Amino acid sequence: MHNYLITIIGPTAIGKTSLSIALAQHFGCDIISCDSRQFFKEMRIGTAVPSDEELASANHHFIQNKSIFEEYTVGDFERDAIAKLDELFEKNNVQIMVGGSGLYVDAVLKGFDDFPEINSTIRDEVRANYEQLGIEYLQTILKEKDSDYFNLLSSNNPQTLQNPQRMMRFVEVCLGSNQPYSSFLNQKKNSRNFTPIIIGLEAERQVMYDRINHRVDIMMHEGLLAEAEKLFPNKDLNALQTVGYRELFEYLEGNISLDFAIEEIKKNTRRFSKRQLTWFKRTENAVWFDYLVDRKEIINHINQHIKS
């Protein structure tokens, strides 16, 4: 039988988890979580991990399966997710993937770009220079070695230029291969043994923003501050460089008030949702539905693709 991967995309707090569970129950299949923040078992409240009841409603994979002290890359996830899907397709030719991490979704659907092996000496040197000179060192090298990609990020994804892990990777590839990082992008992707059926969920902007604000209030009520306090000694770990924790770390350091931190979480989450939507709207063959649409309409759409 031919395999199908129902893939649910959309901005944060739009209702992807609820839809994925409903579809998993309808098709009798499992759910691959594709949210890079929900991998980590120490980060439950701030990453909106599904509730125990939701997790019990369908078989989930890649939720709280790693520790913040482990390095887990998008390449690692691609490898593990494809292996898990191969296993799941043996039982059911329809499976579900859901999440808001666009890069991770693309890695599973299209394959990850093939980069050269980089000498560990170069990697260590880049890290040492970053620790001594800061993010500006990485930005300068990338601009010098791959100006096209630097300018693309500046225009479309400026937050990436502030991400040390991503920037160190760009720079080490440039230095280790003596080629622009972007020259390795968009090459021929790996073949997949499934056909994706991509469902996008969206809402009017104000509705989306109201849902985000409400979710942050719920997180604070459920104990996000206590979770951040527990994680605070490890605040410099890459996994914790994320919205919801950074702002509370600023509060715990005495730099801002708690009320201001909460408003910053809401504002930064709204900005994040806009970037998610921009990324996902570029997804080929995605069909978009209002988040309140009758699920029967989505199921009918999926069945038409499976039968055709």
Check whether 13 is labelled as a binding-site residue. yes
Residue 1: the pLDDT is 64
Q: What is the DSSP letter of 11?
A: -
Beta partners for 290? 202
Percent share of the chain, pLDDT over 70 = 97
Q: Which residues, including other chains, have CB under 8 Å from residue 305's CB and lie 6 or more apart?
A: 4, 195, 197
Check whether 8 is labelled as a binding-site residue. no
Check whether 75 is labelled as a binding-site residue. no
In angstroms, the CA 38 to CA 44 distance is: 7
Check whether 14 is labelled as a binding-site residue. yes
Residue 103 has pLDDT above 80, yes or no: yes
Residue 308 has pLDDT above 60, yes or no: no
Q: Which residues, including other chains, have CB under 8 Å from residue 107's CB and lie 6 or more apart?
A: 74, 75, 77, 78, 81
Check whether 111 is labelled as a binding-site residue. no
Least confident span in 114-128, 159-173, 182-196, 221-235 = 182-196
Q: Look up the pTM and report it.
A: 0.80
Check whether 230 is labelled as a binding-site residue. no
Say which residue the tokens 């225009």 belong to: 155
Query: Regarding the domain delimited by 4-112+189-307, which CATH topology (the fold level of the hierarchy) does it fall under?
Result: Rossmann fold (3.40.50)
Instruction: Write down how long the chain is.
Output: 308
Tally the C-alpha atoms within 13 A of residue 89's C-alpha that lie toward its C-beta: 18
CB 75 within 8 A of CB 98: no
Residue 239's nearest CA partner among 72, 48, 77 is 72
Residue 190 has pLDDT above 70, yes or no: no
Residue range 258-292, pLDDT digits in tens:
999 999 999 999 999 999 999 999 998 999 999 99
Residue range 162-172, pLDDT digits in tens:
888 889 999 99
Sheet holding 287-290, edge to edge: 60-61, 31-33, 94-98, 4-9, 195-202, 287-290
Angle between helices 205-222 and 258-280 (to 10 degrees): 130
In angstroms, the CA 5 to CA 195 distance is: 6
Residue range 195-233, pLDDT digits in tens:
999 999 999 999 999 999 999 999 999 999 999 999 999
CB 60 within 8 A of CB 34: no
In angstroms, the CA 150 to CA 70 distance is: 29
Helix (H) or strand (E) holding 202: strand 195-202
Domain regions of the chain by residue span? 4-112+189-307, 120-184
